[in-house]
């Protein structure tokens, strides 16, 4: 069995993001630790319960699926969303009233992934000419 490893890099820059849960509820959250494979978000307890009720990220034996739109600046400096479908990987309470939720992309269009990886590389000071995207 061959395993393909993707190396995209990681940025810890805080980015505005919008999540939509399975019930269509839209939440404005902060994305942190963004990679080409997934993203962690910070949210309060009430938002966490709307995203993953009680911190549970499996419902009926299947992973909770969310839509996320990360607001990234485009080449002209304008905000342009990168959209993806995600599954929750973990939910962790990090303080009395704040949680971190880790998500893995399960469906992201190639154009969005390419923009995201270029943004990560640019933020990390990596020259894209050395990376196959």
pLDDT at residue 133, as a whole number: 45
Instruction: Decide which of 88 and 78 is more confident.
Output: 88
Q: Structural domains in the chain?
A: 10-123 (2.40.10.220)
**CB-based contacts of 45: which residues, under 8 Å, 6+ apart?**
93, 97, 98, 99
pLDDT at residue 109, as a whole number: 86
What is the CB neighbour count within 10 angstroms for residue 65?
Answer: 16
pLDDT at residue 75, as a whole number: 67
pLDDT at residue 3, as a whole number: 37
Average pLDDT over residues 68-78: 77
Banded model confidence at residue 104, pLDDT cuts 50, 70, 90: very high
Reading the block at residue 130, the tokens are 């050395």
DSSP single-letter state for residue 85: E
Q: pTM for this structure?
A: 0.79
């Amino acid at each position: 069995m061959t395993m393909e490893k993707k190396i995209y890099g990681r940025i810890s820059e805080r980015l505005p993001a919008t999540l939509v849960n399975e019930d269509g509820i839209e939440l404005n959250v902060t994305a942190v630790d963004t990679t080409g494979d997934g993203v962690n978000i910070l949210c309060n307890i009430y938002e966490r319960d709307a995203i993953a009720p009680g911190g549970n990220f499996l419902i009926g034996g299947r992973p909770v699926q969310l839509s996320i739109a990360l607001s990234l600046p485009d080449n002209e400096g304008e905000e342009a969303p990168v959209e993806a479908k995600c599954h929750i990987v973990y939910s962790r309470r990090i303080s009395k009233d704040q949680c971190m939720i880790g998500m893995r992309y399960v469906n992201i269009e190639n154009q969005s992934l390419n923009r995201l990886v270029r943004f990560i590389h640019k933020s990390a000071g990596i020259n894209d000419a050395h990376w196959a995207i």
